Amino acid sequence: MNVLELSNVGHAYLGRTILEGINLRVAPGEIVALVGPSGCGKSTLAHIAAGLTAARSGHITRGYARHAMIFQDSALMPWATAAGNIDYALRLSGAKRRDRHARLVAVADHVALTSEDLAKYPIELSGGMRQRVAIARALAIQPDFMYFDEPFTALDVALRRRMQDLVIETCADGNLSGLFITHDLNEAARIAHRVAILDTRGNGILGHRSPPGSPRTRTDTQVFDWVQNALQGDPIFRHIHDVDERQIA
């Protein structure tokens, strides 16, 4: 039984094929990292999987109870404060008024936002803070499946590690599965049970690779070695740092 299963999914924007023949499975308690060069269709795939974009072809089966998504460009409502943005998701999730405040304070603490930050509007926040608000919003509703769309790109190294640990811990408690989109193979190797590589032209998943052990027990040396080997020895990762070839062609 999988919590998410995509079979033979395809998509096109304005007649231009973006994704074709995508097969992907996520097992309960598993974090699958999705890597691929910029513009290969990772965000589109996540939107299709979450039901935000209708696929042109293929089947999607969702076995989870509630999902949340951290969007690539934080997607905060500019007219609401940081707290208001988090609360919006909580209200939609049907949380009771009393519990909402407690949840809000708890997640804000998790992502290191002060109560002062919470009272600010998105234009008053830095890029990294906005991203953290988006992370807090997604965590607040306690989803059992999370779509991460390059969630930590705007964060500095220390904070990024801290967020990655947060994901690893939440997942190790058995409460979370997810699809984790990233450019960064190091991040993928740290967080994920399995790394799926999307074709440069979105033409199917090229294959899967599993870093050693489980995310929680993996050491930094193991992660480093695995990434080095992958980039040097494994042809499947050859195009991972390419730019959008479609636009050049």
Partner 1 sequence: MTRAHRILEFLWSGWSGLAALCLLAAVWQAGHEAYGPFILTSPLETIQAIGVLASSREAWEIAALTLQRAVSGFALVALAGTALGVAGGYSPATMRLVTPLITVLMGVPPIAWIVLAMIWFGGSDATVRVVIVISALPTVFMGAARGITTRDPVLDKMSEAFGAGAVRRFFGIGLRQTTTTLFPAFALALGTSFKVAVMAELLSNAGGIGGALAMARMNLDIAQALAWVSIAVILLIMVEYTLVQPVKSEIDRWRHAAQPWGVKR
Ligand X SMILES: Nc1ncnc2c1ncn2[C@@H]1O[C@H](COP(=O)(O)OP(=O)(O)OP(=O)(O)O)[C@@H](O)[C@H]1O
Contacts to ligand X by CB under 6 A: 13-14, 18, 36, 38-44, 72, 244, 246
4-13 and 16-26 as β-strands: parallel, antiparallel, unpaired? antiparallel
Nearer to ligand X, 124 or 244 (CB): 244
Tell me the closest approach of the beta carbon of residue 222 to ligand X, in angstroms: 26
Residues in CB range of 3: below 8 A, 6 or more apart: 26, 27, 28, 30, 62, 63, 64, 144, 145, 177
Interface residues with partner 1 (CB under 8 A) are 47, 50-52, 66-69, 71, 73, 75, 77-81, 88-89, 92-93, 120-124, 137, 141, 147
Tell me the closest approach of the beta carbon of residue 48 to Mg ion, in angstroms: 13
Site map 9..48 versus Mg ion, x via CB under 5 A: ----------------------------------x-----
How many whole angstroms separate alpha carbon 34 and alpha carbon 101?
Answer: 34
How many whole angstroms separate alpha carbon 183 and alpha carbon 91?
Answer: 32
Tell me the closest approach of the beta carbon of residue 43 to ligand X, in angstroms: 3
How many whole angstroms separate alpha carbon 231 and alpha carbon 224?
Answer: 11
Q: Residue 126, Cβ neighbours under 10 Å: how many?
A: 10
Residue 40 binds: one of ligand X, partner 1, Mg ion, none (C-beta under 5 to 8 A by kind): ligand X
Nearer to Mg ion, 23 or 72 (CB): 72
Tell me the closest approach of the beta carbon of residue 18 to ligand X, in angstroms: 4
